[in-house]
Amino acid sequence: MTSTVDVSHAAYFAFRDRLLGDLRTTVLTGEQLCEAGRLIYGRPNRLSLYGIPAPRMEAAGIRLLGRTTIECCIDDYADAVADTLVGLHTGIPHEDDEPLVVDLFCGSGNFSHHLGTRLGATVYAAELDPAVHAATRHNLDRIGARTRLHLGDYRDLLGKLTARGPRDTYFVEPPWGPAFTPAGLDLTRTSPPVPTILDDIRRSRDGRPCLVAIKTNDQIAHDSLNRSFAGARHLRSITPEPTLPYGANMQFHLYRLGSGAEE
Ligand SMILES: C[S@@+](CC[C@H](N)C(=O)[O-])C[C@H]1O[C@@H](n2cnc3c(N)ncnc32)[C@H](O)[C@@H]1O
């Protein structure tokens, strides 16, 4: 049994290297998408974005690049986090008609698409990589999403948006790169570092409170999640059933962010 698990994990890590290597900006075939679903989540259908599972993506005209396939937030996870956020929104007194929903490092844009749909809100999303942006633009048009997709740096997008109220929600998932080591994920070493991104958010809204959701793995290094969100209020963490070895699975954390002084 142990050796079967090891073999399948070895296949996962080999495929992951390809998705982040030679297939990084290649649109995957239907067969490669199903293989990714099987190796990452245990079955092809579980790799599902915009409500479309991997076995149907090619026929539905969905374009997923290698890097986005490994980096994306699948429907099951996006649904669970959106559910929690919708519950939190219900308990927050507000005067705005519609909260601001912002996906600062959107990749596939799937997470914010789910949240925006659930809240009936327009989503504002930034993506810096032109190849990822083009694929995501294509996919969001294909499914008729209301997302306003910006090609460029997240700071440009922040500079264009005005705070609306305390339900405003930002999703933060910068590339991990060298922050992801055998010792775990160091959120102070992502690119850009998470504390810098949080300061940028605070500044863009003059410290008015908001919600922040972040995706991490299940092995945080150097207490860097707590250190990055020092002063913010932790609201919930969501841990999907692990499908991979420790360190390779995903988790989501929700915080209330204020000016930094009064949190
Ligand atoms: C880890 S992925 C996010 C995946 C996404 N949450 C999803 O569900 O597909 C990070 C994305 O941020 C983009 N990115 C990197 N630096 C950026 C920046 N400064 N501004 C905006 N996007 C950036 C990358 O090109 C990549 O697609």
Average pLDDT of the chain is 94
For the Cβ of 36 lying below 6 angstroms from any atom of ligand 1, the answer is no
Percent of the chain with pLDDT over 70: 95
Closest residue to atom 13 of ligand 1, CA basis: 105
pLDDT at 205: 98
Closest residue to atom 1 of ligand 1, CA basis: 175
Extract the tokens encoding 42: 């245990």
pLDDT at 6: 58
- Inform me whether the pLDDT recorded for 250 exceeds 60: yes
CATH topology assigned to domain 75-257: Rossmann fold (3.40.50)
Band the pLDDT of 167: cuts 50, 70, 90: very high
Kindly list the domain boundaries of the chain, sorted by start residue.
2-71, 75-257
260 by Cβ neighbours in 10 Å (0-12 / 13-18 / 19+) ranks as: middle
pTM: 0.95
For the Cβ of 127 lying below 6 angstroms from any atom of ligand 1, the answer is yes
Band the pLDDT of 94: cuts 50, 70, 90: confident
Among 97-101, 163-167, 183-187, 258-262, which is the least confidently predicted range? 258-262
pLDDT at 260: 57
3-state secondary structure of 168: coil
**How many CB atoms within 10 Å of residue 10?**
10
Mutate to test the pocket of ligand 1, among 50, 79, 105 (most ligand atoms within 8 A of CB): 105
> Distance between CA 79 and CA 91 in Å, rounded?
19
For residue 106, which atom of ligand 1 is closest to its CA?
A: 5
- Inform me whether the pLDDT recorded for 262 exceeds 50: no
pLDDT digits 0-9 by tens, 12-38:
999 999 999 999 999 999 999 999 999
pLDDT at 8: 64
Residues in the chain, how many? 263
Between 96 and 136, the higher pLDDT residue = 136
pLDDT digits 0-9 by tens, 170-222:
999 999 989 998 899 999 999 999 999 999 999 999 999 999 999 999 999 99
> Distance between CA 216 and CA 146 in Å, rounded?
26
pLDDT at 259: 66
Band the pLDDT of 3: cuts 50, 70, 90: very low
Closest residue to atom 3 of ligand 1, CA basis: 107
Percent of the chain with pLDDT over 90: 87
